[in-house]
Structure 1
Amino acid sequence: MILSLKNIVYTYKKSKVTVLNGITIDCSPGKVYGILGKAGAGKTTLLALIAGLDKVSSGEIFYKKDNLKEIDRDHYRLQEIGSIFQQYNVLANETALTTLKLCTTNSAAKGNAYFYEALKKVGIDEKVANLKIKKLSVSNQQRVYLAKAIINDPEIVLIDEPFESLSELSLAMVMEYIRIYAKNENKCIIISSQSKSIAAYVDELWGLNGGKLSFIKDNVEQEKI
């Protein structure tokens, strides 16, 4: 297991509302996990906890058997986790090329060719790579966000609501890209969505409802039948 959540509880400090209650799941590398739930179910909160952007109220999150409470969270967020949230964390006045460089350690040693190749994989050529983010079409901006999520070769990639965060891209294209990345690079991908359409693209589908996470189906097992 690369990621393990044990009895996770999360309560909003101001409202005292508990949005996650007893969440337990183990995730393995090389697999794509889908978390299905309605708006407000706590999907984004759950991904934020996994990303180390917030802390659980109780319970434990383990990354490669290390408790998130005890590791260097800055290193974890930069190197081990890649994420695409609905609220993008990018600088609109920077180019696509610079955006990737800014979120990469030792970027000078890698050279421009490394970043151009990463952008090329998601459909961004060199000319577009040197335009400011705010000058790009929405679809190309979203391609940059996808490249940014995996530029540091993270072990875990989190995608929050792909129908919104990657709305201008083909879902089939994005999911195929993600599935290949997960399988070929042995990475763990976790996707949250309100849409049942993600069911066809994930290895395991889970449902989040009433603060509880429940297993729905395993596409890997179905493929073997």
Structure 2
Amino acid sequence: MMILSLKNIVYTNKKNDVTVLNDITIDFSLGKVYGILGKQGAGKTTLLALIAGLDTVDSGAILFKNQNLEDIDRDNYRRQEIGTVFQHYNVLSNETALTTLKLCMSNTVTKGNSYFYEALKKVGIDEKVANQKIKKIAVSNQQRVYLAKAIINDPEIVLIDEPAASLSELSLEMIMEYIRIYAKNENKCVVISSQSKAIAEYVDELWGLNGGKLSFIKDNIENQL
């Protein structure tokens, strides 16, 4: 089932008047993992930021469940429907991993501690580490928390920007296994941007972003079986 559709989107950097994304069209479906491959500066982070509702397109449209992002409550969209792991984190380092996840939860949902412990356990964080301040745990464990944080609200779409940087202390295999299971078992859409072709074997569809244009590279039929 299609969850998100980008139709002929154009985005120009306001600072230098350079068109970063030019006539981008792509459909994203639930239950699949997408890879966006491109060099540094190609516009991958910009593309994810637009999908996340953090910025707006100059022309074209981004449709979520057939509704234009410009016509819906963007704050609610970002809070409920999108999970992100970007290269620049927004994490309260003085809080524990457990408290961090609790603070990220939607106000409309009440969960007991066991729910959060289970979410952290899935990324390799035990209860002892979960109750330590984030600034005092290993960087690799901090990044595991960021990964758990991205999906704690059960979003329809998860965006991971350059895992080699944002989740540098974790193995790509561990990250991809975790998000592939999440996408398949929970029927979610995951979009990953990367400079590295290493993501190619883990994604269902691989796309390339170059010169402002997005083009289809390949799909992995065996991953979808």
Same fold at TM > 0.5:
yes
The ranges of structure 1 where at least 4 consecutive aligned residues each deviate by more than 2 angstroms after the TM superposition are 106-109, 221-224
More off after superposition, 99-108 vs 48-57: 99-108
**Aligned 8 A contact 1:101 1:107 in 2:** no
Q: Which amino acid aligns with 1:125?
A: D
The alignment partner of 1:110 has SS state of: coil
Distance 1:223 1:69, change over 3 A: closer
1:87 matched to 2:125: no
Alpha-carbon separation, structure 1, partners of 2:174 and 2:14: 39
Name 1:154's counterpart in structure 2.
155
Alpha-carbon separation, structure 2, partners of 1:176 and 1:108: 27
**Aligned 8 A contact 2:34 2:206 in 1:** yes
Alpha-carbon separation, structure 1, partners of 2:69 and 2:76: 11
Superposed displacement of residue 222, structure 1: 8.5
Superposed displacement of residue 172, structure 1: 0.6
Q: Which amino acid aligns with 1:44?
A: T
Q: Which amino acid aligns with 1:50?
A: I
The alignment partner of 2:158 has SS state of: strand
Which TM-score applies when normalising by structure 1? 0.96
Overall identity of the aligned pairs, in %: 81
Alpha-carbon separation, structure 1, partners of 2:94 and 2:79: 22
Superposed displacement of residue 15, structure 1: 1.1
Alpha-carbon separation, structure 2, partners of 1:107 and 1:155: 17
The alignment partner of 2:71 has SS state of: coil
Alpha-carbon separation, structure 1, partners of 2:202 and 2:190: 11
Superposed displacement of residue 109, structure 1: 2.5
**Aligned 8 A contact 1:41 1:209 in 2:** yes
Alpha-carbon separation, structure 1, partners of 2:156 and 2:109: 23
Alpha-carbon separation, structure 2, partners of 1:203 and 1:90: 30
Name 1:10's counterpart in structure 2.
11
| 5+ residue gaps, structure 1 | none
Name 1:116's counterpart in structure 2.
117
Which TM-score applies when normalising by structure 2? 0.96
Name 1:77's counterpart in structure 2.
78
| 5+ residue gaps, structure 2 | none
**Aligned 8 A contact 1:100 1:151 in 2:** yes
Name 1:125's counterpart in structure 2.
126
Alpha-carbon separation, structure 2, partners of 1:219 and 1:137: 35
Superposed displacement of residue 106, structure 1: 3.6
The alignment partner of 1:33 has SS state of: strand
Q: How many residues get paired?
A: 224
Name 2:23's counterpart in structure 1.
22
